[in-house]
């Protein structure tokens, strides 16, 4: 049974959670930031502040994956928290909480625990409680590695040499590696419209500014995931109406 009274919460920003003395953020995906307003590696902080500029930077304490445990003073009992790489998106972490009041708790947030990630965890210490990301626990599908997924995207583009434009529906935090590898492989910058995909532009400005371009004649464009079906239909219909070769639209997804 999960301990009922803890001095902290993770990825929770409700009015009730504000009563907790400590709050932790595993990564900067929007679904984990719902409700955050006034109250994380350095990059997570920067990305979060880009999305929610009204948050005070002083509300954050930086904790990097692989860093020594951070001691958290608490009136009930001090505890430590250690961050490990979650292999999910840029700066995503797994938290290990250790304290005499509640034991040892492993909180995975959203994770992709490859063998390397598992070996980095101090599982030999013994874990009292595990909060595990079970999003795809019952999914019978095989999920390729990140490297294999990126390779599939690259191969798909190679197979369509006549596509004058390649639209990449890769505007989520964590998909930067796809865009970086596409840019490197094909020697081309990626066109990102700041007004249409502001979060993607902000993220790439931090992690890979060299691949960005404002030149609309670039072959590679980031397109928003929202309304993807409608946007795809509009793009293809426009190309046909103009008598142009069909563009290539690439969408990476677990769906």
Say whether pLDDT at 149 is over 80: yes
Domains recognised in the chain with CATH numbers:
8-131 (3.60.15.10), 146-251 (3.40.50.12650)
Choice between 184 and 255, residue whose per-residue pLDDT is larger: 184
- At 242, the pLDDT band (50, 70, 90 cuts) reads very high
pLDDT digits (tens, 9 = 90+) for 30-44: 554 555 544 444 545
Residue 166's DSSP bridge partners are 220, 248
- The DSSP code sequence of 76-90 is S--EEEEEEE-SSST
Residue 70's pLDDT is 85
Residue 155's pLDDT is 96
Alpha carbons 253 and 172: distance in angstroms, whole number: 11
Alpha carbons 145 and 115: distance in angstroms, whole number: 11
Phi first, then psi: give them for residue 57, nearest 5 degrees.
Answer: -60, -30
Say whether pLDDT at 244 is over 80: yes
Burial (CB count within 10 angstroms: exposed 0-12, middle 13-18, buried 19+), residue 16? exposed
Q: Please tell me the least confidently modeled range out of 126-130, 186-190, 217-221.
A: 126-130
Residue 101's pLDDT is 83
Residue 146's pLDDT is 82
CA distances from 84 to 45, 64, 112, 132, 242 (A): 17, 8, 12, 14, 51
> SS3 for 130?
strand
Give me the mean pLDDT over the 118-129 stretch: 78
Choice between 55 and 208, residue whose per-residue pLDDT is larger: 208
- At 118, the pLDDT band (50, 70, 90 cuts) reads confident
Give me the mean pLDDT over the 183-194 stretch: 93
Question: Are the C-beta atoms of residues 121 and 106 closer than 8 Å to each other?
Answer: yes
Say whether pLDDT at 58 is over 60: no
Give me the mean pLDDT over the 210-214 stretch: 91
Residue 30's pLDDT is 56
Alpha carbons 90 and 28: distance in angstroms, whole number: 8
């Amino acid at each position: 049974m999960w301990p009922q009274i803890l001095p902290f919460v993770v990825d929770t920003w409700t009015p009730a959670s504000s009563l907790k003395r400590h709050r932790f953020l595993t990564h900067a995906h929007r679904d984990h930031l719902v409700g955050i307003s006034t109250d994380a590696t350095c990059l997570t902080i920067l990305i979060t502040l880009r999305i929610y500029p009204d948050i005070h930077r002083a509300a954050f304490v930086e904790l990097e994956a692989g860093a020594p445990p951070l001691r958290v003073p608490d009136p009930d009992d001090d505890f430590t928290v250690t961050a490990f790489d979650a292999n999910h998106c840029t700066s995503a972490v797994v938290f290990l909480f250790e304290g005499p009041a509640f034991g040892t708790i492993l909180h995975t947030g959203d994770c992709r625990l490859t063998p390397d990630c598992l070996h980095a965890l101090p599982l030999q210490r013994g874990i009292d409680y595990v909060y595990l990301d079970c999003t795809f626990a019952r999914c019978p599908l095989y999920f390729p590695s990140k490297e294999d997924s990126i390779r599939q995207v690259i191969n798909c583009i190679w197979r369509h040499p006549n596509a004058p434009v390649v639209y990449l529906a890769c505007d989520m935090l964590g998909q930067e590696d796809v865009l970086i590898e596409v840019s490197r492989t094909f020697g081309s910058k990626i066109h990102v419209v700041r007004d249409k995909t502001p979060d993607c532009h902000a993220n790439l400005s931090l992690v890979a500014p060299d691949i960005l371009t404002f030149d609309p004649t670039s072959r590679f464009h980031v397109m928003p995931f929202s309304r993807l079906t409608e946007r795809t239909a509009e793009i293809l219909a426009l190309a046909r109406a103009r008598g142009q070769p069909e563009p290539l639209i690439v969408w990476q997804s677990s769906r």
